[in-house]
C-alpha cells in the first residue's frame, strides 16, 4: 500500500510537469535584446530632469564659463522638496545637471575652481549632489547625473590632458554619492568655428562609468544604454525601434541623423531604446519670464502619448527657481498631470472579455489580460501574422488602446491593425493601424462603442504579446491657440467646433462669465491674454492658456535686405519665414525711438533649417551711427531646440533702428532663416 501511494504521487507529479511543459515552450530571442538593467530602466517609464546652476540666476540657457561663482546663491535650497515633488508626481527618479557646459560643478570638485565651493551658498561648504542623492534615497527614487564633457571654464579644455581630467571628474561623482541609475552625456562642443575643440575619449569615459556604476544606463545620441530621440519637443517616432546601429558613430556631430534617432532602426544590431527629454517650460533653466509659460496638462498629456505611448521613457525637466525650490506653478501642474494620467488608465475594460485566436497558441492567450508583464501569449512558431479577437460580452465605449511586447525576447512587431465589430451592418470596421509596439504603445482615437474588437499583428518573428487593454479616457476640449498679427489684432482658434472661447486681458483666469470671443480685438501696446474653450452645453472645458505680448510691429519697416520675403520677419506670424543671404544684414526701422530692454528671435521650428546660431546685433538712432550691443553672441541650444530666443540687454538702450548679422548658422550654408524678430520694452 505504501509503494502504491508513492507510485500514485510520482504519476501525479509527472502529469503536472508534463502539463506545464506543454505551456512553457522555450521561445528563442529575436535580434538584439535588452540587458536586465535596460529592462529595469524601461519599466521606470517616467522621471525628472533638473537643470540648475548659475544659468538659473543669469537668465541664460548656456553660460560661458566666465560667470562669477558669486551669482550662484539660492536663498532657500531644499533638495528634499525636489524629491518629494518628484515622488508625488509619480516619477521614479531624478537626474541632475551636476555640471553643465559652463563647467560649474554643483559639488566641491577637486578638479575645478568653478564650483559651489567658490560660491557664497552655505559659505562655500555646500554639496548639492550629496543633498539630492540622500533625498532620493529617503523618498525611494533612483538618482542620476548629467555631466557635460564640454567645459567652457576649465583651462585644459581643448587639450589631450582634458580627457583624463574629465574622467577623473566622472570618477569623483560616480564613487561618492551612492548608486547612479543613469549617466547622462551629450556631445556638445559648441564654441563655434573659432573656438576650442576637444576630441572626446568616449571609451575612457564609458570605462570610468562602468567601473564605478556597473548597472548604470549611459545616455547619449548613441547610448550605449539608451539614446536621444532626435528632438526636444517630446515627440518620439510613431515608428520607434529600440534597436540601432551604433558602430562608427559618436555623440554630437558624429551621431546618426535626427530622423534615425527618432525612429531607431529595424534589425539594428544594438539594443539602444529611446529616451524623450523635454522641459515643462520653454527653456531648460528657470526664468521668471516663463512663469506663465508652464506647459498645460493638455500639452503634457500629448507628450505622454508621444513618449511613453511610443516605446520611449519620459525625462521631464522641472527647473528649480532662484530660491532653490520647484516653483508652485510647476509643482501644481505636475500633480494635475499625474491625476490626468491616473484617470485615463484607472479601469481596464477587458478583464472579463473572452479571447480567441485564429492559430494554435504556445502560451495561454489569457496571459495578455492578467496585468503581469512577465506572462505573454505566443502563437505557433511559423505564424508571423496572428490575430486576436476580443469579445467584450457587452457593448463598451472606449477611446484608448494599450499594447505591450515582451521585449526580453526582442522587439518583433513591425505593424498591427485594429478593427471593431459593427453590429448593425454585421461587418468588421477599421479602427486604426500602427507600426512598432516595443515595451509600450498607447493610441488615442475618437470614442467607439462595440462588443468585439480584433487585432492582427505582423512580425519580423512570431509576435510575443504581453498586454492588450482598452480604456475610456476623458473627453476634453483642446485648449485654444492665441495669435496676434502685425497690426496688434489678437485672435483665437480651436480644434473643437462645439466650443466657445472666453478671454481676459486683466490677468484674471477666464470663465464663462468673461468676455466671449466673437472677433479679433486690438492690443498694439501689448499685455497678457488668457483664454479658455468651453463646450456650448457648459459641461466640458479646456485648460486656460496664456500669452504675453510686447509692442506690435505695425509701424516697422524692413530696410535690408530688399526681398519680399523679408517682410515675414515682422508680420507677427511664427508660421511664415524669411530666407536671407548670409552676406545680407537684417536692418529694421522701428519708425520711433523706443527704450529697448532686449529682443527676441524666433527661428524656423525645424532642426534641419539653417537658423542663426551666433550673431552680432547693433542699435542706432539715425541708421548711420551704430552701437554694437551683442558681439558674436550665441543662441543657446537652438539647433536641438529651435524655439523663440529671448535676449535681455545688460542695460536698456534707446534705439530707432536694429541691425542683425549672423556669424554662424546651425546647419551652415549660404542663407539663414528667420521666422520673427521682436523687441522687448516691458
Cα 315 to Cα 341: distance, rounded to the nearest angstrom? 16
Residue 25: band (very low, low, confident or very high) from pLDDT cuts 50, 70, 90:
confident
Q: How far is CA 566 from CA 588, 615, 623, in A?
A: 10, 18, 18
Sign (positive/negative) of CA torsion 226, 232, 235, 237? negative
User: Residue 45: how many CB atoms within 10 A of its CB?
Assistant: 17
pTM of the model: 0.81
Dist. CA 629–CA 627, nearest whole Å = 6
pLDDT band at 22 (very low <50, low <70, confident <90, very high): very low
> Which domains does the chain possess?
36-344 (3.20.20.80), 354-471 (2.60.120.260), 481-549 (2.60.40.10), 557-680 (2.60.120.260)
* Cβ neighbours around 103 below 10 Å, total: 26
For 387-398, the pLDDT digits (tens) are: 999 999 999 999
Q: How many CB atoms lie within 10 A of CB 342?
A: 10
Please write the tens of the pLDDT for every residue from 95-146: 999 999 999 999 999 999 999 999 999 999 999 999 999 999 999 999 999 9
| Res 366: pLDDT | 93
Extract the C-alpha cell encoding 641. Answer: 531646440
Is the pLDDT confidence value at 578 over 50?
yes
Residue reference for cell 501696446: 525
Give the count of beta carbons closer than 10 Å to the beta carbon of residue 678. 21
Phi, psi of 238 (to 5 degrees): -60, -35
Cell of residue 279, nine digits: 522641459
pLDDT of amino acid 45: 98
Cα-based distances in Å from 570 to 523, 616, 643: 16, 19, 17
Is pLDDT of 192 > 70? no
pLDDT (average), residues 41-66: 96
Tens-digit pLDDT profile for residues 520-559 = 999 999 999 999 999 888 878 887 888 889 999 999 999 9
| Dist CA 360 CA 357 (whole Å) | 7
Amino acid at each position: 500500500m505504501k509503494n502504491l501511494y508513492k507510485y500514485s504521487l510520482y504519476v501525479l507529479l509527472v502529469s503536472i510537469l508534463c502539463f506545464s511543459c506543454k505551456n512553457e515552450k522555450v521561445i528563442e530571442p529575436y535580434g538584439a535584446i535588452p540587458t536586465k538593467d535596460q529592462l529595469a530602466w524601461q519599466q521606470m517609464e517616467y522621471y525628472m530632469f533638473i537643470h540648475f546652476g548659475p544659468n538659473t540666476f543669469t537668465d541664460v540657457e548656456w553660460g560661458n564659463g566666465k560667470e562669477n561663482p558669486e551669482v550662484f546663491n539660492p536663498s532657500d535650497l531644499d533638495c528634499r522638496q525636489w524629491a518629494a515633488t518628484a515622488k508625488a508626481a509619480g516619477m521614479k527618479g531624478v537626474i541632475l545637471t551636476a555640471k553643465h557646459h559652463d563647467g560649474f560643478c554643483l559639488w566641491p570638485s577637486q578638479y575645478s575652481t568653478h564650483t559651489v565651493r567658490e560660491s557664497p551658498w552655505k559659505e562655500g561648504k555646500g554639496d548639492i549632489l550629496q543633498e539630492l542623492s540622500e533625498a532620493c534615497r529617503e523618498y525611494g527614487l533612483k538618482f542620476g547625473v548629467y555631466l557635460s564633457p564640454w567645459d567652457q571654464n576649465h583651462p585644459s579644455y581643448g587639450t589631450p590632458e582634458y580627457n583624463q581630467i574629465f574622467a577623473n571628474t566622472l570618477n569623483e561623482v560616480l564613487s561618492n554619492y551612492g548608486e547612479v541609475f543613469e549617466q547622462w552625456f551629450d556631445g556638445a562642443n559648441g564654441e563655434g568655428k573659432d573656438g576650442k575643440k576637444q576630441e572626446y575619449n568616449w571609451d575612457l569615459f564609458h570605462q570610468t562609468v562602468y567601473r564605478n556604476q556597473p548597472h548604470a544606463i549611459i545616455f547619449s545620441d548613441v547610448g550605449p544604454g539608451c539614446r536621444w530621440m532626435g528632438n526636444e519637443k517630446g515627440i518620439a517616432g510613431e515608428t520607434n525601434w529600440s534597436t540601432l546601429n551604433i558602430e562608427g558613430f559618436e555623440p554630437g556631430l558624429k551621431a546618426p541623423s535626427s530622423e534615425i534617432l527618432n525612429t531607431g532602426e529595424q534589425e539594428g544590431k544594438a539594443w539602444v531604446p529611446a529616451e524623450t527629454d523635454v522641459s515643462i517650460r520653454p527653456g531648460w533653466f528657470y526664468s521668471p519670464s516663463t512663469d506663465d509659460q508652464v506647459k498645460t496638462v493638455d500639452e503634457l498629456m500629448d507628450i505622454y502619448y508621444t513618449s511613453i505611448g511610443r516605446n520611449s521613457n519620459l525625462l521631464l525637466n522641472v527647473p528649480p527657481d532662484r530660491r532653490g525650490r520647484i516653483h508652485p506653478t510647476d509643482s501644481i501642474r505636475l500633480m494635475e498631470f499625474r491625476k490626468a494620467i491616473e484617470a485615463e488608465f484607472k479601469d481596464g475594460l477587458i478583464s472579463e472579455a473572452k479571447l480567441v485566436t485564429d492559430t494554435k497558441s504556445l502560451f495561454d492567450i489569457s496571459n495578455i489580460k492578467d496585468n503581469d508583464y512577465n506572462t505573454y501569449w505566443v502563437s505557433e512558431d511559423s505564424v508571423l501574422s496572428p490575430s486576436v479577437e476580443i469579445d467584450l460580452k457587452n457593448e463598451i465605449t472606449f477611446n484608448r488602446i494599450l499594447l505591450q511586447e515582451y521585449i526580453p525576447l526582442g522587439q518583433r512587431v513591425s505593424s498591427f491593425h485594429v478593427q471593431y465589430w459593427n453590429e448593425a451592418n454585421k461587418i468588421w470596421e477599421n479602427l486604426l493601424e500602427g507600426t512598432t509596439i516595443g515595451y509600450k504603445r498607447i493610441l488615442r482615437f475618437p470614442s467607439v462603442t462595440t462588443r468585439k474588437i480584433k487585432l492582427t499583428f505582423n512580425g519580423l518573428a512570431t509576435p510575443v504579446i504581453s498586454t492588450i487593454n482598452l480604456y475610456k479616457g476623458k473627453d476634453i476640449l483642446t485648449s485654444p491657440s492665441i495669435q496676434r498679427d502685425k497690426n496688434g489684432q489678437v485672435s483665437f482658434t480651436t480644434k473643437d467646433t462645439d466650443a466657445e472661447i472666453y478671454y481676459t486681458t486683466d490677468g484674471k483666469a477666464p470663465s464663462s462669465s468673461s468676455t466671449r470671443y466673437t472677433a479679433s480685438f486690438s492690443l498694439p501696446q501689448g499685455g497678457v491674454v488668457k483664454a479658455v474653450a468651453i463646450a456650448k452645453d457648459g459641461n466640458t472645458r479646456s485648460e486656460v492658456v496664456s500669452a504675453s505680448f510686447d509692442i506690435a510691429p505695425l509701424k516697422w519697416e524692413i530696410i535690408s535686405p530688399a526681398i519680399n520675403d523679408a517682410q515675414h520677419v515682422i508680420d507677427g506670424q511664427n508660421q511664415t519665414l524669411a530666407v536671407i543671404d548670409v552676406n545680407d544684414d537684417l536692418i529694421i526701422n522701428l519708425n520711433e525711438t523706443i527704450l529697448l530692454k532686449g529682443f527676441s528671435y524666433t527661428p524656423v521650428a525645424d532642426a534641419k533649417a539653417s537658423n542663426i546660431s551666433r550673431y552680432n546685433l547693433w542699435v542706432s538712432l539715425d541708421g548711420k551711427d551704430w552701437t554694437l550691443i551683442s558681439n558674436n553672441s550665441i543662441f543657446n541650444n537652438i539647433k536641438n531646440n529651435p524655439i523663440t530666443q529671448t535676449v535681455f540687454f545688460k542695460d536698456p538702450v534707446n534705439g530707432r533702428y536694429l541691425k542683425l548679422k549672423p556669424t554662424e548658422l546651425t546647419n551652415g550654408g549660404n542663407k539663414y532663416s528667420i521666422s520673427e524678430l521682436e523687441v522687448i520694452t516691458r
